[in-house]
């Protein structure tokens, strides 16, 4: 298949998605995409509002004969996760995404694609500009900053939206419908220190962890993938004890909601211990590569001599830092009772980074059970406070409790069965959707989430299945025709 992206079907989605890929839109840097969508609505002559934080609501009146249908709110987020391979030169605040066809999938060259949630945004733009669809009253809600705090959804106020049904377009498996999601919170751990001068008698080494798959810290957390921070700190813990290693600098991960793929550290090895350090590192590489052979076949652990750093971390703090990060909970904590394939509680050891006076450790905790989320936070607080760190938890957002009596769920399931001859798979998801927050402001909304098939979001392996986008669009169109009357 050699078509350009904008030539794929359905034309309305792909034409708009191609344009979106040309507009840089990492989280908290959405000004250009906000302006683009605002002008898009205004140029169509539609009622368009931008609130104080940058959320956009565009209203489209019902088509003739559909005025008595319940109002529908379409919702998607404008920002994307900026992740790239280490050998890719790309500035997410300036450069367009290089999307291309690869068989039945659309991918990006060395970066995240932004199909999460760009396909949902593109579908909403296609609905707004279409002159052939049959539909009742529509509100199109485009939120900002979903990926790093859901601050757009948190800023919504009563009265901004008029519909009775919310269709969230931020799910990633065609043929599935989500009616619930996990809540989450950010863990913020900080160590303060005064750097020490580097003494004589040490050899500086750079240790690099790379080649991991990474992925979405909710959707992919149960896949057993490696976490670059834990791979690195496991080695640091061993080398500290065996070789007298001293730590000068460490950096791993850069997004709370992305499983970290790469990490590095600059360390000092006593001159007499170089041989045992290198032997330990080689043996460690074999061990970890063997453990993760099935999930991380491209894992690389590299080490090389480097320039002498100007500072190092105090010995006592180094010991406390390495031990606490190495011991930090990570990955799946508990599965959901009665639904063994669904994660209930998890955490992602997302970021570890030093600067000249502080060391930052950031995690994203998720759970569909509020008490379990609180318990996980308390256990992490106990661990890191014992290690002498300052600990806080921020950005807590609620889960979305499933409503098995949802009217729109039943309507859409019937539409799907009629169209495709099989039932929708009705599920909850271990990821944060904005539905829980929006539902807190508009408690009477009937909400569901659906979308096309997207794989490996939040990583440079992200891809969207072309045929599923057509099915997603056709299903969306037929859903609008069958929205219940008021």
DSSP character string of 349-382 = EEEEEE-SSEEEEEEEEEESSHHHHHHHHHHHHH
Q: Residue 377 has what pLDDT? A: 98
- Radius of gyration of the chain measured on its C-alpha atoms: 24
| H helix and E strand count, the chain | 11, 21
Q: In the predicted model, what is the mean pLDDT of residues 400-422?
A: 95
Residues 163 and 204 placed together within one structural domain of the fold: no
Q: Residue 270 has what pLDDT? A: 97
Backbone φ, ψ for residue 138 (5° rounding): -125, 135
Residues 45 and 167 placed together within one structural domain of the fold: yes
Q: Residue 339 has what pLDDT? A: 82
Active-site residue set:
79, 146
Burial 44-76 (b: 16+ CB within 10 A, else e): eebebebeebbbbbbbbebbeebeebbbbbbbb
pTM of the complete model: 0.83
CA–CA dist 399, 408 (Å, integer) = 20
- Does the pLDDT at position 62 exceed 90? yes
Q: Residue 292 has what pLDDT? A: 98
- Does the pLDDT at position 214 exceed 50? yes
Residues 337 and 220 placed together within one structural domain of the fold: yes
Residues in contact with 16: Cβ distance below 8 Å, sequence separation at least 6, in sequence order = 121, 122, 125, 126
CA–CA dist 287, 424 (Å, integer) = 43
Residues 258 and 332 placed together within one structural domain of the fold: yes
Q: In the predicted model, what is the mean pLDDT of residues 409-413?
A: 97
Residue ending a domain, among 397, 428, 443, is: 397
Q: Which pair of structure tokens corresponds to residue 206? A: 């750079």
Residue ending a domain, among 344, 379, 397, is: 397
Residues 411 and 367 placed together within one structural domain of the fold: no
Residues 142 and 200 placed together within one structural domain of the fold: no
Residue 153's domain comprises 5-182+399-481
pLDDT digits (tens, 9 = 90+) for 233-260: 999 999 999 999 999 999 999 999 999 9
CA–CA dist 286, 279 (Å, integer) = 11
Q: Residue 86 has what pLDDT? A: 83
Residues in contact with 210: Cβ distance below 8 Å, sequence separation at least 6, in sequence order = 86, 228, 261, 262, 299, 300, 302
Residues 16 and 151 placed together within one structural domain of the fold: yes
Read off the CATH number of the domain in which 211 is found. 3.30.70.360
pLDDT digits (tens, 9 = 90+) for 32-51: 999 999 999 999 999 999 99
Average pLDDT of the chain, as a whole number = 96
Residues 252 and 166 placed together within one structural domain of the fold: no
Q: Residue 185 has what pLDDT? A: 95
Read off the CATH number of the domain in which 473 is found. 3.40.630.10
358-367 and 339-354 strand pairing: antiparallel
Domain count, the chain: 2
CA–CA dist 267, 245 (Å, integer) = 7
In the structure, what pLDDT confidence band is assigned to residue 338 with cuts at 50, 70 and 90?
confident
Q: Residue 1 has what pLDDT? A: 40
pLDDT digits (tens, 9 = 90+) for 161-170: 999 999 999 9
Secondary structure element (H or E) that encloses residue 250, with its range: strand 246-252
- The answer as to whether 122 is a domain residue is yes
CB 130 within 8 A of CB 138: no
Share of residues in the chain with pLDDT > 70 (%): 100
Residues 359 and 431 placed together within one structural domain of the fold: no
Residues 334 and 409 placed together within one structural domain of the fold: no
Residues 126 and 195 placed together within one structural domain of the fold: no
In the structure, what pLDDT confidence band is assigned to residue 2 with cuts at 50, 70 and 90?
low
Separation in Å, CA 153 to CA 12, 51, 75, 78, 150: 26, 11, 10, 12, 5
- The answer as to whether 262 is a domain residue is yes
425-429 and 446-449 strand pairing: unpaired
Residues 248 and 378 placed together within one structural domain of the fold: yes
- The answer as to whether 486 is a domain residue is no
- Does the pLDDT at position 3 exceed 80? no
Residue ending a domain, among 367, 397, 427, is: 397
- Does the pLDDT at position 61 exceed 90? yes
pLDDT digits (tens, 9 = 90+) for 126-138: 999 999 999 999 9
Give me the residues paired with residue 190 across strands.
360, 390
């Amino acid at each position: 298949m050699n078509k350009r992206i904008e030539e794929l079907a359905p034309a309305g989605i792909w034409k708009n998605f191609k344009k979106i890929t040309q507009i840089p839109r990492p989280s908290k840097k959405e000004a250009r995409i906000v302006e683009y969508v605002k002008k898009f609505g205004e140029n169509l002559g539609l009622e368009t509002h931008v609130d104080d934080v940058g959320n956009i609501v565009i209203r489209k009146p019902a088509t003739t004969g559909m005025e008595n249908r319940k109002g529908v709110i379409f919702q998607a987020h404008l920002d994307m996760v900026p992740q790239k391979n280490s050998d890719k030169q790309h500035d997410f605040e300036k450069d367009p995404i290089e999307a291309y066809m690869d068989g039945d999938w659309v991918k990006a060259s060395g970066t995240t694609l932004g199909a999460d949630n760009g396909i949902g945004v593109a579908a909403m733009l296609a609905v707004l500009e279409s002159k052939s669809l049959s539909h009742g009253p529509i509100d199109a809600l485009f939120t900002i900053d979903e990926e790093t705090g859901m601050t757009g959804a948190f800023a919504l106020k009563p009265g901004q939206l008029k519909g009775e049904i919310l269709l969230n377009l931020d799910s990633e498996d065609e043929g599935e419908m989500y009616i619930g999601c996990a809540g989450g919170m950010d863990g913020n751990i900080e160590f303060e220190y005064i750097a020490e001068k580097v003494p004589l008698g040490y050899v500086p080494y750079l240790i690099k962890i790379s080649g991991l798959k990474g992925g979405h810290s909710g959707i992919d957390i149960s896949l057993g993938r490696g976490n670059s921070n834990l791979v690195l700190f496991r080695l640091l813990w061993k080398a500290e004890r065996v070789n007298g290693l001293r730590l000068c600098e460490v950096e791993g991960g850069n997004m709370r909601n992305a499983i970290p793929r790469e990490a590095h550290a600059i360390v000092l090895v006593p001159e007499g211990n170089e041989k045992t350090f290198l032997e330990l590192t080689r043996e460690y590489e074999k061990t970890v590569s063997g453990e993760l052979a099935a999930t991380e076949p491209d894992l690389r652990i590299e080490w090389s001599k480097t320039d002498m750093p100007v500072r190092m971390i105090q010995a006592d703090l180094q010991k406390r830092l390495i031990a606490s990060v190495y011991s930090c909970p990570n990955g799946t904590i508990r599965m959901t009772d009665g639904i063994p394939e669904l994660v209930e509680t998890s955490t992602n050891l997302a970021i570890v980074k030093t600067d000249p006076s502080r060391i930052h450790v950031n995690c994203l905790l998720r759970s569909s059970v509020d008490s379990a989320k609180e318990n996980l936070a308390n256990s992490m607080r106990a661990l890191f406070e014992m290690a002498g760190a300052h600990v806080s938890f921020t950005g807590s957002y609620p889960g979305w409790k499933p409503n098995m009596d949802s009217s729109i769920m039943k309507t859409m399931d019937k539409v799907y069965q009629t169209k495709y001859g099989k039932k929708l798979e009705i599920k909850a998801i271990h990821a944060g959707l904005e539905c829980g927050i929006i539902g807190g402001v508009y408690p009477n909304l009937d909400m569901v989430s659906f979308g096309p098939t997207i794989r490996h979001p939040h990583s440079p392996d992200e891809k969207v299945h072309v045929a599923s986008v057509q099915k997603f669009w056709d299903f969306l169109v037929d859903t609008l025709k069958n929205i219940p009357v008021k």
